[in-house]
């Protein structure tokens, strides 16, 4: 589609995004704010939403994708809300829009762009790979079964998975990355492949002496996904007790289908405590991903509850992605992290 104009969406055009999402997903899209033009406009004005659209010569908007940031100084942005009209599919419009947004981000000094791409089909993932992004993990069962997708590999309604991607834009500062021994090799592979800033290092005995007794956590709920994220802001020696209590409450009382656990990769306590307790947590490897409650990237683990996961329904778009997915699925099986 050489005749498409790529530009940013203005605040006074916010209804365009709502219309695009409604046409593509009905009312099933898993983020309520996209159906609220006033909220979209507010985010654009605040600079927390940078929306890119593709416009045909007759003025028809054929696609949208957005960059989002948690705060004005965020060094890493989050890409999402990718919607392309049926008529525009297969013409690489998503790739063109994300490339336009990525060039803007690079000029702004952004270090990189994280994103989730549905694993229900390979098309969105392939667009990311074509731009130079690489997979950093897979969140199994992330998308609720209420979201409809006519390109999905699965034939019936069930929770779908997403692939995590990182697109490097600028060089970041050097920093240590501390990983549990069990997942060190795969995290080193992710860091080396994606260009995420940092070097994988081993914690020292002096680090062990500095670990606090108590763990501070933040629990974030995603009601539209029926899942929760536990963030261990400062892992302490009681991590296992605190996390298992929180997960039990989230599953038993809140009825969450999936619980994810984020730990700071710049904290040696993550390596030391998980080396001691990981086998007893019942959480499996998910990947590396930014977390708004942490200063650096997080190691994300996942615990699934009555989620119907079928490996054949999870698409990939690269050899690196297939290797990473195989690791994730194998770890779920070995840790019994999918309780049914």
Burial label for 164, CB within 10 Å (0-12, 13-18, 19+), is buried
What's the number of CA atoms in the CB half-sphere (13 Å) around residue 225? 19
Q: Among 81, 100, 119, give the residue marking a domain's end.
A: 100
E strand or H helix that includes residue 130: helix 123-131
Same-domain check for residues 77 and 190: no
Residue 16 lies in a domain: yes
Residue 182 in domain: yes
Contact 165, 136 (CB under 8 A): yes
pTM of this structure: 0.88
pLDDT tens-place string over residues 143-187: 887 765 544 454 555 789 999 999 999 988 788 999 999 999 999
Q: Which of 100, 131, 158 is the last residue before a domain boundary?
A: 100
pLDDT, tens digit, 9 for 90 and up, residues 229-273? 999 999 999 999 999 999 999 999 999 999 999 999 999 999 999
Counting other chains too, the contacts that 33-38 makes at CB distance below 8 Å and 24 or more residues apart are: 34/81, 38/14
Count of structural domains within the chain = 2
Number of neighbours of residue 206 by Cβ within 10 angstroms: 8
Query: Cα–chain-centroid distance for residue 166?
Result: 9
Question: Which of 208-223 are b and which e, b meaning 16 or more Cβ less than 10 Å from the residue's Cβ?
Answer: eeebeeebebeeeebe
Residue position matching structure tokens 């990473």: 324
Residue 68 sits in the same domain as residue 190? no
Single residue among 100, 125, 150 that ends a domain in this structure:
100
Quick check: is 285 in a domain? yes
331 within some domain: yes
Tell me the pLDDT tens digit for each residue of 67-81.
Answer: 999 887 788 899 999
Range of the domain at 29: 1-100
Show the tokens assigned to 71. Answer: 């705060």
């Amino acid at each position: 589609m050489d005749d498409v104009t790529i530009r940013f969406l203005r605040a006074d055009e916010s209804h365009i995004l709502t219309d695009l999402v409604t046409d593509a997903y009905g009312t099933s899209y898993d983020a309520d704010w996209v159906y609220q033009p006033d909220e979209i406009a507010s985010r654009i004005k605040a600079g927390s939403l940078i929306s890119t659209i593709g416009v045909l010569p007759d003025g028809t908007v054929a696609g949208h994708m957005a960059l989002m940031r948690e705060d004005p100084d965020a060094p890493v942005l989050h890409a999402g809300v990718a919607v392309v009209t049926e008529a525009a599919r297969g013409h690489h419009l998503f790739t063109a829009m994300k490339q336009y947004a990525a060039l803007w981000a690079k000029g702004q000094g952004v270090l990189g762009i994280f994103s989730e791409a549905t694993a229900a089909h390979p098309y969105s993932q392939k667009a990311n790979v074509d731009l130079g992004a690489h997979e950093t993990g897979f969140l199994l069962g992330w998308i609720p079964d209420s979201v409809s997708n006519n390109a999905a590999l699965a034939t019936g309604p069930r929770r779908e998975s997403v692939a995590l991607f990182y697109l490097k834009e600028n060089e970041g500062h050097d920093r240590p990355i501390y990983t549990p021994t069990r997942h060190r090799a795969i995290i080193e592979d992710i860091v080396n492949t994606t260009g995420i800033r940092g070097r994988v290092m081993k914690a020292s005995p002096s680090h062990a002496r500095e670990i606090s007794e108590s763990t501070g956590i933040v629990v974030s709920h995603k009601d539209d996904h029926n899942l929760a994220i536990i963030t261990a802001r400062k892992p302490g020696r009681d991590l296992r007790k605190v996390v298992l209590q929180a997960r039990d409450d989230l599953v038993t009382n809140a009825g969450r289908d999936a619980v994810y656990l984020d730990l700071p990769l710049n904290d040696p306590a993550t390596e030391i405590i998980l080396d001691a307790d990981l086998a007893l947590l019942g959480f499996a490897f998910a990947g590396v991903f930014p977390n708004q409650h942490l200063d650096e990237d997080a190691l994300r683990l996942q615990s699934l509850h009555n989620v119907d996961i079928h490996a054949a329904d999870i698409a990939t778009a690269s050899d690196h992605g297939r290797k990473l997915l195989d690791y994730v699925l194998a770890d779920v099986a070995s840790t019994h992290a999918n309780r049914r």
